[in-house]
C-alpha cells in the first residue's frame, strides 16, 4: 500500500515537472497554412460567375456569405453569385483537408451596360469608368462642360447619389468679351418771343402800354430805360422809334439751337468659364443718406458705362453668355433738394440678356431709342389772332431730343500669351534727357525704343496717327 502511494506521488510529480515543457512544444507545432490569397475574382452584383479549379476539391468555404454565395457544380467547378458590394475570401480544400488556395472575391456594381451606353452617347470622349464599393467613379478628360454633365447625369441613373466625379474639362476655358458701346444724342430747340411797349402823350395825357410774350419787362426794362437782356436770352433784337408824340419799342427774341453728342466705350474683359467679370468707365456720385438723429452718411452710386457678364463654355467653341450692360449719366435737371442738400438724379439705359454664340460671332443690341418732344405756344388773347401783327403778341417754343444706344458684343476663346507679345501705350513715350529737354526742347526721348514685338509697333506711332491697343 505504501509502495503504491509512493508510485502515484512520483508519477504526479513527474507529470507536473513535464507540463511546462509540453505546452511550448504544442505552440511550436501550430502554423498558419497561408497568410494571403493567390488570386482575385471580380463578380458583378446580382450576377453569377462560374470558375474552375486545376485540382479537385472536397470542401468550399466563404468568409462572408452576405457578400457572395457559392455552390459546387462538380469537384472542379464553382458557382459564385455576387450579392452586395464588398470583398470576402473563398477557401478551397482538398479531400485530405489540405488548403488548395484562397481567392479574394470582390463584388461591385455592374457597369457593363453603363459603359456601353456611355460609348453610344459620348463616342469620342476619353472617360474611364471604375467601381468603388457600391458607387461609380468617373475619370478622364472631356471636351466640354456640357458633355461632362451628360456623363454625370447618365451615371446617376445607374448609381443614384453614389457617383464620384474625377473628370476634367479640356480645351480653352477662358473667354474674352469685346464690347462696343455707342450712344448718339441729338437735340433741336427753336423759340420765338416778342415784347411790345407803347408810351407817350395822347390828347394831353401820358399813356404807357406794354404787352409781351418774352422777357423784356423783367427787371428795370421799359420805355426810357436801357434794355437789359438776361444771360439766358440769345438772338434778341430791339427796335424803337417815335411816331409824333408816341414812343414804340419792340423786342424780338428768336433762337434756334442744335447739338450732337457721342458716347463711346470699348472694354475688353477676360473671364474664366462660369466666373463673372465687371467693367465701369465713369465714376461714383456721392448721395447723402439720413440715418436718423441728425446723422447723415454718404453712399456712392456708380455712373457711366457699366458691363457685367458671365461666360460659360458649353460645347467646343459654343459660348453661353449672360450679360448686363448699362449707360448712365447725371441729370441735374431732375434733382431734389433736401434740407439745403442738392441731390442730382440719374438717367440710365440698361439691358440684360442671355445668348449663345460661337467663337468670333457677334450680336448687336439696338433699338434703345428715346425721343422727347415738346411744343409750346402762348399768346395774348385776341391780339395774337390778328393776322401778321398778331405775331408780336405770340410766343412759340419747340424742343426735341433724340438718343440711341447700340451695343455690339463679340466673344473669343483665348489663352494666355507671353509678355513680350503685349504692348502698352506708354511704351512709345520715354522721359527726355536733360539735353533733349533744355537744348532741343523735346518732351520725349527718341532713344532706346523697342525694335521688335508688339511694343515696337506701338513705339512707331506718334500723336498724329492711330492709337489704342495692339493685339495679334
pLDDT digits (tens, 9 = 90+) for 45-58: 888 899 888 888 88
> Is residue 391 exposed (0-12), middle (13-18) or buried (19+ Cβ within 10 Å)?
middle
Per-residue HEC secondary structure of 334-386 comes to EEEEECCEEEEEEEEEEEEEEEEEECCCCEEEEEEEEEEEEEEEEECCCHHHC
Distance, CA of 369 to CA of 266 (rounded, Å): 20
Does residue 232 have a pLDDT over 60? no
pLDDT class for 205, splitting at 50, 70, 90?
Answer: low
Distance, CA of 438 to CA of 457 (rounded, Å): 29
Does residue 7 have a pLDDT over 50? no
pLDDT at 19: 45
Q: What is the mean pLDDT of residues 378-382?
A: 76
Domain end, chosen from 151, 169, 187, is at 169
Query: In this structure, is residue 338 part of a structural domain?
Result: no
The Cβ of residue 72 has, within 10 Å, a number of other Cβ atoms equal to: 15
pLDDT at 391: 72
Domain end, chosen from 124, 139, 169, is at 169
Domain end, chosen from 68, 90, 108, is at 108
Query: In this structure, is residue 280 part of a structural domain?
Result: no
Contact call for residues 351 and 366 (beta carbons, < 8 A): no
Query: In this structure, is residue 258 part of a structural domain?
Result: no
Distance, CA of 108 to CA of 96 (rounded, Å): 34
Query: In this structure, is residue 292 part of a structural domain?
Result: no
Looking at per-residue pLDDT, the higher value among 180 and 388 belongs to 180
Strands 318-338 and 295-315: antiparallel
Looking at per-residue pLDDT, the higher value among 195 and 347 belongs to 347
Q: Label residue 222 left, alpha or beta by phi (over 0 means left) and psi (-120 to 50 means alpha).
A: left
Query: In this structure, is residue 153 part of a structural domain?
Result: yes
pLDDT at 326: 87
Distance, CA of 430 to CA of 336 (rounded, Å): 48
Output the domain CATH number for residue 75. Answer: 2.60.40.1080
Cell of 241: 422809334
Distance, CA of 425 to CA of 458 (rounded, Å): 7
Domain residues for 137?
111-169
Q: How far is CA 254 from CA 20, 213, 350, 383, in A?
A: 134, 12, 38, 20
pLDDT at 81: 92
Output the domain CATH number for residue 146. Answer: 3.30.1340.30
Looking at per-residue pLDDT, the higher value among 289 and 120 belongs to 120
Helix (H, G, I), strand (E, B) or coil at 429: coil
Does residue 60 have a pLDDT over 70? yes
Distance, CA of 405 to CA of 421 (rounded, Å): 34
Average pLDDT of the chain, as a whole number = 76
Query: In this structure, is residue 10 part of a structural domain?
Result: no
pLDDT at 23: 42
Same domain, 121 and 103: no
Number of folded domains in the chain? 3
User: Residues 6 or more apart from 430 whose CB is under 8 A from it?
Assistant: 444, 445, 447, 448, 449
Query: In this structure, is residue 158 part of a structural domain?
Result: yes
Does residue 432 have a pLDDT over 60? yes
pLDDT class for 469, splitting at 50, 70, 90?
Answer: very low
pLDDT digits (tens, 9 = 90+) for 401-421: 888 888 888 999 888 777 666
Distance, CA of 118 to CA of 150 (rounded, Å): 9
Q: Where are the beta strands (DSSP E) in 63-118?
A: 68-72, 77-82, 86-93, 99-108
pLDDT at 11: 44
Same domain, 103 and 117: no
Amino acid at each position: 500500500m505504501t509502495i503504491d502511494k509512493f508510485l502515484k506521488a512520483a508519477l504526479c510529480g513527474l507529470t507536473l515537472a513535464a507540463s511546462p515543457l509540453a505546452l511550448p512544444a504544442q505552440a511550436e507545432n501550430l502554423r498558419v497554412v497561408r497568410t494571403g490569397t493567390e488570386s482575385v475574382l471580380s463578380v458583378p452584383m446580382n450576377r453569377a460567375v462560374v470558375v474552375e479549379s486545376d485540382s479537385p476539391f472536397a470542401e468550399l468555404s466563404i468568409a462572408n456569405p452576405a457578400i457572395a454565395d457559392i455552390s459546387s457544380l462538380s469537384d472542379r467547378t464553382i458557382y459564385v453569385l455576387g450579392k452586395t458590394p464588398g470583398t470576402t475570401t473563398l477557401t478551397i480544400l482538398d479531400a485530405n483537408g489540405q488548403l488548395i488556395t484562397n481567392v479574394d472575391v470582390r463584388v461591385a456594381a455592374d457597369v457593363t451596360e453603363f459603359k456601353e451606353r456611355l460609348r453610344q452617347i459620348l463616342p469620342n470622349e476619353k472617360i474611364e469608368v471604375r467601381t468603388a464599393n457600391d458607387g461609380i467613379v468617373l475619370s478622364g478628360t472631356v471636351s466640354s462642360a456640357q458633355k461632362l454633365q451628360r456623363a454625370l447625369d447618365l451615371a446617376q441613373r445607374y448609381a443614384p447619389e453614389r457617383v464620384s466625379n474625377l473628370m476634367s474639362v479640356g480645351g480653352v476655358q477662358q473667354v474674352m468679351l469685346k464690347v462696343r458701346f455707342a450712344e448718339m444724342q441729338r437735340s433741336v430747340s427753336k423759340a420765338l418771343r416778342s415784347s411790345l411797349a407803347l408810351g407817350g402823350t395822347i390828347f394831353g395825357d401820358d399813356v404807357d402800354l406794354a404787352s409781351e410774350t418774352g422777357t423784356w419787362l423783367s427787371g428795370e426794362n421799359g420805355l426810357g430805360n436801357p434794355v437789359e437782356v438776361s444771360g439766358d436770352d440769345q438772338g434778341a433784337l430791339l427796335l424803337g422809334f417815335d411816331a409824333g408824340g408816341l414812343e414804340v419799342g419792340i423786342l424780338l427774341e428768336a433762337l434756334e439751337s442744335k447739338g450732337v453728342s457721342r458716347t463711346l466705350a470699348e472694354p475688353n474683359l477676360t473671364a474664366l468659364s462660369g466666373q463673372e467679370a465687371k467693367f465701369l468707365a465713369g465714376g461714383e456720385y456721392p448721395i447723402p443718406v439720413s440715418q436718423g438723429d441728425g446723422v447723415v452718411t454718404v453712399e456712392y452710386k456708380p455712373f457711366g458705362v457699366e458691363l457685367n457678364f458671365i461666360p460659360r463654355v458649353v460645347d467646343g467653341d459654343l459660348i453661353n453668355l449672360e450679360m448686363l450692360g448699362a449707360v448712365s449719366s447725371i441729370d441735374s435737371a431732375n434733382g431734389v433738394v433736401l434740407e439745403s442738400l442738392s441731390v442730382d438724379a440719374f438717367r440710365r439705359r440698361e439691358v440684360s440678356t442671355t445668348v449663345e454664340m460661337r467663337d468670333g460671332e457677334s450680336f448687336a443690341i439696338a433699338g434703345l431709342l428715346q425721343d422727347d418732344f415738346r411744343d409750346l405756344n402762348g399768346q395774348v388773347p385776341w391780339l395774337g389772332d390778328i393776322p401778321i401783327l398778331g405775331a408780336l403778341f405770340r410766343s412759340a417754343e419747340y424742343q426735341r431730343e433724340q438718343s440711341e444706344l447700340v451695343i455690339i458684343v463679340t466673344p473669343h476663346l483665348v489663352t494666355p500669351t507671353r509678355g513680350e507679345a503685349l504692348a502698352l501705350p506708354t511704351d512709345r513715350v520715354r522721359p527726355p534727357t536733360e539735353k533733349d529737354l533744355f537744348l532741343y526742347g523735346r518732351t520725349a526721348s527718341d532713344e532706346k525704343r523697342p525694335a521688335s514685338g508688339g511694343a515696337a509697333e506701338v513705339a512707331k506711332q506718334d500723336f498724329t496717327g492711330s492709337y489704342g491697343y495692339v493685339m495679334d
